[in-house]
């Protein structure tokens, strides 16, 4: 009698352990999760076409640059970037490029400002709101693939889901940094970085390990993006010195300010006019 009870108990435990993995496997032996934010879809929503003629941006240095993450087009629950991770990555980019001589300030812009401000028209409103010259937009694309391999048969034991690494995952990440001039609707500079990683996990620990791989992928891709953007900036500076860049650089002493403001030449002319009038009045 005792042996019969033990056999029944073992069969129940085995069935529960197996069903915990077998039922999902029947529907999800291969799963793909895709999280992204598209620069092209953001700048040209509803199929809008790029301008027919490119305008040359006029960069008044030192520059005030806005920095923001593009809103996500889709995110799987529990995966993708959290708000804390977004802020951390933006702060790393901000800290790295703030020391550049031609940068006056890098202003972090919350991504919810961009949710209803799509296209260059929306960016122009943000440009006026934050008083920035250019806006740097961070976008990303991350694909995660999960597969149950041959070791999954070992899940038909009580401890299998905890100790057998029967789930394989692959994570591919792209991080893109693009600097645009909303006034001329021009792309000033762009660079990106990628990361690919894979591993095996137990069924119980799969979610935790996938989230860790996702976060590590973003960190590594961001590191590569920063390095590539540094190279692109150096190349742009060399082109500016050679006069071959597709931008016009105006230094601070040549800047006349916003609409209705006066430059040094205008002020000197006005001062001379006032002095002449005072002499004549005397």
Q: Domain coordinates of the chain in residue numbers? A: 2-253
pLDDT at 149: 67
Is the Cβ–Cβ distance between 146 and 172 less than 8 Å? no
Alpha helices in 65-180 (DSSP H): 83-97, 119-130, 160-163
Q: Is the pLDDT of residue 30 over 70?
A: yes
Q: Quick one: tokens of 145?
A: 């693939």
Only one residue has tokens 């709101």, namely 129
Share of the chain above pLDDT 90, in %: 38
Distance in angstroms (rounded) separating the CA atoms of residues 171 and 218: 10
Q: Is the pLDDT of residue 266 over 50?
A: no
What angle (nearest 5°) sits at the alpha carbon of residue 221, between those of residues 215 and 224? 145
Supply the DSSP symbol for 164: -
Find which of 44-53, 78-87, 138-147, 188-197 is predicted with most confidence, using mean pLDDT: 188-197
- The lowest-confidence range among 60-69, 120-129, 156-165, 265-274 is 265-274
Is the Cβ–Cβ distance between 65 and 229 less than 8 Å? no
- The lowest-confidence range among 41-50, 165-174, 234-243 is 41-50
Q: What's the pLDDT band for 212 if we cut at 50, 70, 90? A: confident
Nearest to 113 by CA among 130, 93, 88: 130
Is the Cβ–Cβ distance between 79 and 144 less than 8 Å? yes
Q: Is the pLDDT of residue 54 over 90?
A: no
pLDDT at 255: 46
Q: Is the pLDDT of residue 3 over 70?
A: no
pLDDT at 161: 66
Distance in angstroms (rounded) separating the CA atoms of residues 239 and 245: 5
* Nearest 10 degrees: Cα torsion 69, 72, 77, 78: -20
Is the Cβ–Cβ distance between 204 and 160 less than 8 Å? no
């Amino acid at each position: 009698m005792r042996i019969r009870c033990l056999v029944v108990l073992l069969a129940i435990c085995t069935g529960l352990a197996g069903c915990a993995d077998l039922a999902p496997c029947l529907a999800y032996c291969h799963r793909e999760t895709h999280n992204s934010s598209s620069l092209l879809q953001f700048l040209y929503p509803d199929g809008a076409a790029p301008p027919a003629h490119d305008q040359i941006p006029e960069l008044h240095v030192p520059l005030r640059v806005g920095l923001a993450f593009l809103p996500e087009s889709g995110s799987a629950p529990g995966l993708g970037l959290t708000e804390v991770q977004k802020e951390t990555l933006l702060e790393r980019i901000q800290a790295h490029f703030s020391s550049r001589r031609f940068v006056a300030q890098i202003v972090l812009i919350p991504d919810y400002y961009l949710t209803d401000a799509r296209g260059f028209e929306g960016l122009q409103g943000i440009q006026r709101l934050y008083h920035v010259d250019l806006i740097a937009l961070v976008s990303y694309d991350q694909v995660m693939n999960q597969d149950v391999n041959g070791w999954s048969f070992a899940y038909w034991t009580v401890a299998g889901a905890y100790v057998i690494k029967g789930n394989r995952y692959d994570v591919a990440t792209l991080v893109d940094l693009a600097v645009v001039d909303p006034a001329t609707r021009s792309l000033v500079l762009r660079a990106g970085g990628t990361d690919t990683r894979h591993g095996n996990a137990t069924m119980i620990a799969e979610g935790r390990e996938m989230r860790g791989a996702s976060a590590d992928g973003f960190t590594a891709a961001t590191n590569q993006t920063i390095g590539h953007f540094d190279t692109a900036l150096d190349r742009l500076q060399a082109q500016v010195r050679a006069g071959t860049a597709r931008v016009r650089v105006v230094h601070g002493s040549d800047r006349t300010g916003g609409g209705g403001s006066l430059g040094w030449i205008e002020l000197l002319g006005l001062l001379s006019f006032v002095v002449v009038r005072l002499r004549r009045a005397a």
